[in-house]
């Protein structure tokens, strides 16, 4: 599900975050690339190219504020911090398929946690992250053609 700039601006407003030209540019970047995780360092480089006086701390703080507002997902991939715009605000609990070739991210609604909880009687699972890695349909078709 592709989110729009209007959705993002509504989330900023509802979280009492001021709409600055820097935040708007960051949102534009994340919205234009919402089907992939991107290295935070590349996002930082992009933003500092647009706004040469912008500090690294400001960029990282904005990403953290966006994460706290539920707008972005951040994680570690290959030892690097990566970020992407949240793909589905209607279903905050979801998982991902991540293409190992092109990096495309596809949302997976099914959750296997009931089976794991049943296998751990007496345990309390607080949180989890479930990701599937492989080749997306496009990359798989290219590989087999």
Any known ligand binding at 87? no
Which of 42, 17, 16, 13 shows the shortest CA–CA distance to 29?
Answer: 42
- 105 contacts: CB under 8 Å, gap ≥ 6: 35, 36, 37, 84, 87, 96, 97, 98, 99
Contact 72, 55 (CB under 8 A): no
Any known ligand binding at 111? no
Which of 86, 40, 79, 38 shows the shortest CA–CA distance to 60?
Answer: 40
Any known ligand binding at 139? yes
Binding site feature residues for Fe cation: 93, 128
Binding site feature residues for Zn(2+): 99, 102, 136, 139
Binding site feature residues: 93, 99, 102, 128, 136, 139
């Amino acid at each position: 599900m592709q989110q729009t700039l209007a959705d993002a601006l509504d989330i900023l407003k509802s979280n009492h975050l001021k709409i600055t030209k820097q935040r708007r540019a960051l949102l534009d970047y994340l919205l234009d690339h919402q089907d992939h995780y991107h290295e935070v360092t590349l996002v930082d480089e992009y933003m500092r190219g647009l706004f040469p006086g912008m500090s690294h701390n400001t960029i990282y703080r904005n990403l953290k504020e966006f994460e706290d507002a539920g707008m972005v997902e951040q994680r570690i991939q290959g030892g690097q911090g990566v970020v992407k715009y949240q793909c589905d605000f209607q279903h905050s609990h979801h998982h991902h398929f991540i293409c190992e070739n092109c990096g495309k991210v596809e949302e997976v609604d099914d959750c296997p946690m009931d089976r794991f909880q049943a296998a751990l009687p007496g345990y309390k699972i607080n949180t989890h992250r479930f990701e599937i890695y492989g080749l997306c349909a496009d990359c798989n078709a290219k590989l087999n053609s």
